[in-house]
Structure 1
Amino acid sequence: MAREQVQPHDTIQVQQFLHFETFANLTGTCLEDMQRLNPSVMRSALPDNGKKHVIKIPIWSKAALSLNRQFILDSASKIGRKELESLAKNSSGNTYGREVQIYRVRSGDVLGSISERFGVRVNDIKRWNSLSGNTIRVGQRLSIWTFPVRSLSSSKVLNTVLSSDTKTYTVQPGDTLWEISKRLPGVSIEKIKTLNSLKNNKLKPGQKLILG
């Protein structure tokens, strides 16, 4: 049986969102070539997760990229981004732009409590771990895909009029209690819920949280 011929290609390093179709259009290649050379890239786009990615590009697209590299990468980092991010957040089990964590089930855990802890949906956990039902066992390892934890900028943590020691945080789109607690040493999810009289883990953008 004849071996499939490898398409001539080069590699580039990218550290930003990259929409393959836009990149292909601007470099004179086609989306199918980009997909064939990079089969592990989901939804034909690189996520903006702060990591460096090495991708393969058709050899003939290198000349166009060399002439207009900044313009092409900037354009491919903007077009299609919102649509893909929205799809990733709303599609059950989608791992686009997320990082995997391995969680070991503890006594008393149920899928509902684990989903709240990590800010994901029960159906997501079931899909990621090929679970047909809601039964889990102590010691079982579960793959949990979460969005990368972003650092809190100083402009978002403000002193309030309550006291000089009290700080507040304005919830940003995509934030979860788990993410916020991870960014602040010594501040647990339960502490945030107690300080803010929260009955569940739901947050909304613009909401102000007392953090300490």
Structure 2
Amino acid sequence: MKKVIILTLLYLSIGTHLLAQETQQTTVEEIRDNSIVYPESMTKQLSELLKTWQIDLSKAEVECERGINVVFHDSVYLKRLHRMPTEMELSFNSVVKSHIEMYANRRREQVSYMLALGDYYFPMFEQALDRQGMPLELKYLPVIESALNPVAVSRVGATGLWQFMMRTGKGYGLEVNSLVDERRDPYKATEAAVRYLKDLYAIYSDWNLVIAAYNCGPGNVNKAIARSGGKRDYWQIYYHLPRETRGYVPAFIAANYIMSHYADHKICPAHAYNTTTALDTVHVNERIHLEQIAGVLDLSLSELRRLNPQFKKDVIPGDSKAYALVLPSEKMYTFIDKSDEIMNYNRSSYLTHRANTDAYLNGTATTQSGNTTNIYYRVKKGDNLSIIARRNRITLSQLKSWNGLRSNTIGVGKRLVVGKEAVALPKTEPVKQMAQNTEGGSTGETETVNQFYRVRKGDTLGKIAQRNGVRVTQLQTW
């Protein structure tokens, strides 16, 4: 009997030690913060998050019981975090708890919204992370960065799902200009963010420090490490970090928790009306407005914007380089078949700011009724600029000038101007001295006097001909 009691006490001692060790690894009770700064995404109005998607928060997905929040004991949170299948440390303390309660109480509708969008975005994030061998739970980083809003812009200008600053985004190959902002491109921004996170992990070898550095930059994390005496544990440098970053890892842990245990808190995914499961990509080689595409393909402009948020002004500048356009799969072949119709659909209405430039490149600037018409050719597989120029009996420089090309690279399917045809002009009084009567004039004979004109920058044959009251064909003959 005595032996049994001793063995029992021994097992209890070992079990208590293991439990204490487990608790020590997952809770950091000494952390207290009475001035928590929540991530910007947790404090924005929900209406801002619903602009891009048609979300019905009153409708829940099937088999989900919606109700008021259920509050749990700290030990329940601790146990749930510890049991999550993750290689990352998901600690629990009062700061983490405050972020969990923020989501479970005050931001319940936001969680519903993010759960609906998660079906669209999370598979994309997971694939990119898995390709690099990184923890899949990092897919929840955009939850605290942008609340899964691809066009989110922070107070300091960080943009997109992954909230890239312009300098960092460009450093990771994202294009940012007046028409295109690839920080808003879900695919490209995700690939760039994964590379950035991988680079940060190569520096710190600790995911909590990586997440902190993603938020405030490696410089601030390095300063916090130095101020703490060289400690490289997030919770040990907590008070040395910027106030806005201190709550960042707790928010990330809370996001992992709430996106996994939302049902335990009676939160249901909202219903998204316009989620498209089957998507495809086509490359655009012309300057096109999204409304032109919407009009011909019978798509809503809001859906095109949702699928292609990188085009800030709804313009795809495909005449400078090819851009990927995401479409519902059933519309892809229609887009290819009707590409000419799309490009010409109300072009003058949607691309009015291009009128002067287009006219200059096409050689029809400043004309009223037009003095030339363009002859077009669509590039086929195996073509190059030299072959196209030779086939149409024009010079390579003419071909490049007419089409505004700066290099010899050309994409299949692009429409090129390969020639110009003269169009009859209304009768105009010729410039004096172009053809004058002789002063004697009585014989009816005329004397031809050459009038010379020095070509200026920006001139075209059509422009010169109209200015001097002659035809393009006459200029070419003379």
TM-score, with structure 1 as normaliser: 0.37
Which is greater in Rg? 2
TM-score, with structure 2 as normaliser: 0.18
Q: Which has the higher helix share?
A: 2
